[in-house]
Amino acid sequence: MAEAVTPFKVQIPDSELELLRKKLELARLPDYEGCEWGEEAEGGVTSGLMRETVDHWRTKYDWRAAEARMNEMPQYKTSIPIDGFDAVNVHFVHAKPADPAAAAGPPTPLLFLHGWPGSFIEVQEMLPRLLAAGFHVVAPSLAGFGFSGYPRQAGFQLTHQAEMMNRLMARLGYGSYLVQGGDWGSLLGRIMAVRYPKHVKALHLNMIFSSGPNGQKWPPADEELTPREQRCVDRAKFFQTKNSAYQALQATKPRTVGYAFHDSPLGMLAWMADKVLIWSDPKAKAWTPDELITWTLLHYFPGPTTGMVTYRENDFAWVLELLSSEEPGCKVPLGLSQFPEEMVFSPRRVLEADYKNLAWMREHDAGGHFAASEKPEELATDMIDFFGSYRK
């Protein structure tokens, strides 16, 4: 029974929804009316956006409708053992073509890895394209996110997440597979390619860290940039100087932040909306109140703390040091979709110097950090195009 894979549907108890309704009814918002600093976007979510979204939440939002939409995807749970840790009860989407004979390509397993503050639902808009192309799509909730469990022991890092994901794919009968990732999923995918090259046939990312050839700081002060490069560099600097404080807070005090948001749906909304809206490209997508609320609740209902603990257990310096020591010899083909409003950026020439396994790259004119939600058609097309050579 330990290896059982059981069907799962998202079904939040009525008692939780009633408690949420009461919290929204009793919630109070600060009054910033007439204050210039209350509507200045760099200082956080504006009071106008919060008032409008909370009013929509109280009067129009329907969680059961959002839940039904999620449950259109076939979902499962299974317990995966992790060396040195509790077994993790992993939640995942596992979708296959309804008519394999009509698919445009051979049956190929594809592991889709989300990040923070995303979740498994990021795959949903891409599923029709990917299934039509013949992919068997596995989209798990990372350990500590959504409806997946999390070990009681400290020290659970991306290397253990990678072990968990590889064992999940083996549990499903996939000895080899393709991987796609963004945010934490991009770092996790890179670790999987390094640690499990016999299983990962190719890796596609929509975010990648690169300091420059041989680890040199990029861009050097004397290098002339193209207009696109300058815009992307300015965007990355804006993130580093104005929008990265959350990293330090979640990496040092995840429990403190977790207490605040575990009991406050409005606090969770403000924290989520601040990231989702600023990290996105408004030219690519206008986020609706329903979407912002649903993303919020996928952290609020299960509890947000363990997702934030990921930052504490995986210091970026440690992750990048691990990759710099293990990745240079990686032979797994790498594909990259680059969106101009992503928060990290390096030009093609720098990436080619850093990643000898970079086999494919496509630059897009619009899109930001949440490519699967902002540009699902384009990201799905990129995966189909890049993975085409590695599907047999």
Instruction: Let me know if 183 is a catalytic residue.
Output: yes
d(CA 299, CA 297): 5
- Per annotation, catalytic residue among 300, 311, 355, 390: 311
Phi, psi values for residue 362, rounded to 5°: -135, 130
Q: Is 215 helix (H, G, I), strand (E, B) or coil?
A: helix
Q: Is 213 helix (H, G, I), strand (E, B) or coil?
A: helix
Checking DSSP bridges between strand 177-181 and strand 135-140, what pairing results, if any?
A: unpaired
- Per annotation, catalytic residue among 91, 94, 177, 183: 183
Instruction: Let me know if 311 is a catalytic residue.
Output: yes
d(CA 227, CA 176): 41
| Buried b or exposed e, range 142-171, using 16+ CB within 10 angstroms | bbbbbbbbbbeeeebbbbbbbbbbbbbbeb
Instruction: Let me know if 14 is a catalytic residue.
Output: no
Checking DSSP bridges between strand 75-82 and strand 5-8, what pairing results, if any?
A: antiparallel
* Termini Cα distance of the chain: 33
Contact predicate 123/376, CB 8 Å: no
- Per annotation, catalytic residue among 355, 364, 369, 382: 369
Q: Is 23 helix (H, G, I), strand (E, B) or coil?
A: helix
Q: Please give the full DSSP string across 222-252, using - where no structure is assigned.
A: T----HHHHHHHHHHHHHHHHS-HHHHHHHH
Residues marked as catalytic: 183, 311, 369
